[in-house]
């Protein structure tokens, strides 16, 4: 039999008499299942509900949450959360009691603690990045979010064409800075073929490309240089953004100022052509 100190070394308490091995204790899906073992009539909420529905999530460390009826005795969870709430519209999905996808989104927007260690992820740009990722997987969810009073406001910023979290963040930041006409994945014809600009103004032909780590090997930089030349030939002015820039307020302000300059120049040139 394992001694108590040895058991505590290798296992982490979830709730009641439910434990997980320490190697599994940070897996939110496993924690959600463990919470359900402790409360068999519990209902998956928030990210746990979305994961149970088959959505992939573009963040790690989200906090598993289940709910039990408000009339139930309070139960303490050591990992994740067990909430006493009024029963919502219950759906049986994969044998689990689960709220609707729209209610799951309402959960994660209304409860910043559902983000786990990503507590600062409750910022609107992070929320939009998550929702962009979700609606890309199921486009019908986009329409339902826009109709629901609890999500209609933020869903106005959501766009299923965004291809990555950084692209979503850049789009939201630009929108909040007043560049509201910028769209993701704009198709541009160059000399060598067609390209898709990550984000840009299709009228003024000013855009931003996010350059992730995979863009910095020699072959990728060569392809990017050819792409940049082709986009310039097509009349586009492209600025590059990296993770370093996104994570630095000072660097981001520099990019924002450059965007403003390029937009002003493009407007002047367009006005002169029209005149």
pLDDT digits (tens, 9 = 90+) for 166-197: 999 999 999 999 999 899 999 998 887 889 99
Q: Was domain 165-274 assigned CATH 3.40.960.10?
A: yes
The answer on pLDDT for 249 being more than 60 is: yes
Phi, psi (rounded to 5 degrees) for 237: -105, 120
Question: Residue ranges of the domains in the chain?
Answer: 4-155, 165-274
Q: What is the DSSP letter of 88?
A: -
User: pLDDT category, 207, cuts 50, 70, 90?
Assistant: very high
218 pLDDT above the threshold of 70: no
Q: Whole-model pTM?
A: 0.87
- Among 169, 51, 83, smallest CA distance to 120 is for 169
3-class DSSP state of 225: helix
Per-residue model confidence as pLDDT tens digits over 67-125: 999 999 999 999 999 999 988 788 999 999 999 999 999 999 988 888 877 666 668 89
Measure the CA–CA gap between 105 and 47, rounded to whole angstroms.
Answer: 8
Q: State the Cα–Cα distance between residues 215 and 14, nearest whole angstrom.
A: 41
The SS3 of residue 105 is: helix
Residues 6+ apart with CB under 8 A from 25: 11, 12, 14, 31, 79
d(CA 24, CA 30): 7
Q: Average of pLDDT values for 153-173?
A: 93
Cα gap 63→116, rounded to integer Å = 4
């Amino acid at each position: 039999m394992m001694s108590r100190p040895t058991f505590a070394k290798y296992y982490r308490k979830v709730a009641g008499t439910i434990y997980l091995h320490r190697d599994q204790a940070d897996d939110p899906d496993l924690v959600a299942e463990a919470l359900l073992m402790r409360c068999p009539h519990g209902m998956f909420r928030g990210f746990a509900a979305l994961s149970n529905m088959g959505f992939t999530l573009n963040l790690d460390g989200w906090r598993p949450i289940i709910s039990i009826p408000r009339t139930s005795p309070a139960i303490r969870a050591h990992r994740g959360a067990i909430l006493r709430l009024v029963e919502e519209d219950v759906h049986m999905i994969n044998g689990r009691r689960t709220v609707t996808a729209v209610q799951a989104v309402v959960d994660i927007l209304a409860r910043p603690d559902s983000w786990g260690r990503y507590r600062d992820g409750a910022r609107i740009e992070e929320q939009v990045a998550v929702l962009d990722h979700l609606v890309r997987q199921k486009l019908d969810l986009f329409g339902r979010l826009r109709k629901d009073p609890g999500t209609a406001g933020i869903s106005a910023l959501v766009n299923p064409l965004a291809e990555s979290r950084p692209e979503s963040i850049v789009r939201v930041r630009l929108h909040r800075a007043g560049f509201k006409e910028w769209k993701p994945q704009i198709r541009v014809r160059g000399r060598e073929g067609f390209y898709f600009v990550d984000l840009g103004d299709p009228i003024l032909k000013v855009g931003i490309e996010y350059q992730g780590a995979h863009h910095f090997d020699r072959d990728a930089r060569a392809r990017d240089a050819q792409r940049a030349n082709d986009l310039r030939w097509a009349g586009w002015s492209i600025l590059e953004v990296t993770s370093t820039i996104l994570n630095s307020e000072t660097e981001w302000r520099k990019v924002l100022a450059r965007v403003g300059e390029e937009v002003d120049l493009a407007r002047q040139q367009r006005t002169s052509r029209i005149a």
